[in-house]
Amino acid sequence: MTDNFVWYELCTNDLDGAQAFYERLLGWTCAPFGGSGSAETPEYRIFSMNGAGIAGLMPLPEGMTTPFWLGYVGVGDCDAATASAEAAGAHIHRTMEIPTVGKITLLSDPQGVGYAIIQGYSDRKSEAFAVGKPGHGNWHELYSPDPVAALDYYAGQYGWTRGMTMPMGAMGDYQLVQADGVDIGGMMRAPENVPPSWGYYFGVDAAADAIERAKANGGAVLNGPMEVPGPMYIAQLTDPQGAYVAVVGPR
């Protein structure tokens, strides 16, 4: 099997405000992670959907001011995957080991887009990503200054393969990406005034209802609802603290 996204994490400047927003937007529940919140360990909370762990919630790292979502790709050997990524042009920010959880590396791809890899210590399979399932990660979208080179990098590191290519006129191509024959996301050239980044789409029962929940709870709508092949509808949002997030589901 190829590697895939297995976890999502929100770093924010208002844990309580963000928790309330995503509970209402996506139907998540949230609970403290055991052992966190001490002087030595930053507070960490776990978002779940019907008992399945989906994402983490933690304070912004020191020196950072803009809340953001981070995706974790699961790997079998973190040390080997880190060395391979660095040899392929990635920038390694930090490697750390969390007892009972796993070994993690924070890195940026050769085009400067940040993400993380994790070698988990549990045999339990991740439930965070599940195509078409509300409350779970449904899609991953890379805005890159060079999506062709980006696909070569991620294919080389994690075994992802090229799916269907969708021409978008002046915006260039939208390249679908597959893991084990399943579409897991798309890559495209970063639009003007949009920083290169990964974007994460979470499933909802109805995109229009999710938009109204977002607006009612302090979020902002950047785009949508917009129909995409499926047929499904997407909406791109910012939460009340300013983190970019997206939803996908029936209209």
Q: Do residues 113 and 171 both lie within one domain? A: no
**Domain finish residue from 120, 151, 171:** 120
Instruction: Tell me, yes or no, whether 129 lies in a domain.
Output: no
Give yes or no for residue 41 having a pLDDT over 90: no
Q: Do residues 242 and 211 both lie within one domain? A: yes
**Domain finish residue from 120, 145, 170:** 120
Instruction: Tell me, yes or no, whether 131 lies in a domain.
Output: no
Q: Which of 24, 73, 47 is nearest to 239 (CA)?
A: 24
Instruction: Tell me, yes or no, whether 101 lies in a domain.
Output: yes
Domains of the chain: total: 2
Average pLDDT, the chain: 94
Q: Do residues 90 and 148 both lie within one domain? A: no
Q: Give the CATH number for residue 25.
A: 3.10.180.10
pTM: 0.95
Instruction: Tell me, yes or no, whether 28 lies in a domain.
Output: yes
Q: What is the domain extent for residue 112? A: 5-120
Q: What is the tens place of the pLDDT at every residue in 127-179?
A: 999 999 999 999 999 999 999 999 999 999 999 999 999 998 888 899 999 99
Q: Do residues 87 and 157 both lie within one domain? A: no
Burial of 236 per CB tally in 10 Å (0-12, 13-18, 19+): middle
Q: Do residues 61 and 93 both lie within one domain? A: yes
- pLDDT confidence band for 68 (50 / 70 / 90): very high
**Domain finish residue from 70, 87, 120:** 120
Q: Identify the H or E element spanning 213.
A: helix 207-216
Q: Which of 118, 215, 147 is nearest to 247 (CA)?
A: 215
Residue 115's alpha-carbon distances to 8, 191, 197, 215, 228, in angstroms, are 10, 20, 9, 28, 25
Tokens linked to 28? 């998540």
Q: Do residues 31 and 91 both lie within one domain? A: yes
Instruction: Tell me, yes or no, whether 57 lies in a domain.
Output: yes
Q: Do residues 21 and 110 both lie within one domain? A: yes
